[in-house]
Chain A
Amino acid sequence: MSEIAWLGSLEEALSAARSGERLVLLDVFNPT
């Protein structure tokens, strides 16, 4: 099963959103 290709930087995500039709899903998580 493939995994979601999460980005790790806000700027990178906003740049990807600017070049497409999608909006950014920001998920803030705590690994513990």
Chain B
Amino acid sequence: MSYPETPVREAIERLTVPLQLDNTVDANQAVLDRFKHVWTPDLRILDADGTELYRWSGYLPPFEFAPQLIVAVAHARLRRKEYAAAKALYEEALLRFPTALVAAEAQYYAGVSAYRASHSANDLLHAWHELEKSHPESEWTVKQNF
């Protein structure tokens, strides 16, 4: 279980309102149906109105869970057009967890959030150039080609 680990607990408490639902409890079934729940672990980032902004599933060890959570909240902030907040979280994930599985995705969207904030193509291209250098084999490096 990744939750007792300090970096995971710190990120959960700093960035989210944590909600856990047991999928074997009858009283939870209506909510689980609403979110089309299939399998555990099943993690979602929700807006205050209950809109799902990001999801991931499957076990991650602590050193992967913490960066995944930070990037998940960054994605949610990006979708809410909170570009500066999103960019800061992508950069935090990259700085603290540069070798995480989610790092290439964070680098890709660091560029997207920077571009959305500044409207400067240079911000996007700079971040994507870094992605090409740091993760040449990543699917996100493939996705940056246009």
Chain A residues engaging chain B, CB cutoff 8 angstroms = 1-10, 12-14, 16-18, 20, 22-32
Contacts and interface: CB of A to CB of B under 8 A. Distances in A.
A4 B18 contact: yes
A6 B23 CA distance: 15
19 contacts: A7-B20, A9-B19, A13-B17, A14-B48, A17-B48, A23-B45, A23-B46, A23-B73, A25-B16, A25-B19, A25-B46, A26-B43, A26-B44, A27-B19, A27-B42, A28-B37, A28-B42, A29-B21, A29-B40
A18 B125 CA distance: 36
B121 interface: no
B22 interface: yes
A20 B17 contact: yes
Contact of B4 (A1, A26, A30): A1
A23 B13 CA distance: 11
Contacts of A24: 16-19, 44-48
A23 to B, nearest CB: 5
A28 B17 contact: no
Given A4-B9, A4-B13, A17-B48, A26 B21 contact: yes
A9 B43 CA distance: 15
Contacts of B49: 14
Interface string B44-57: 11111110010000
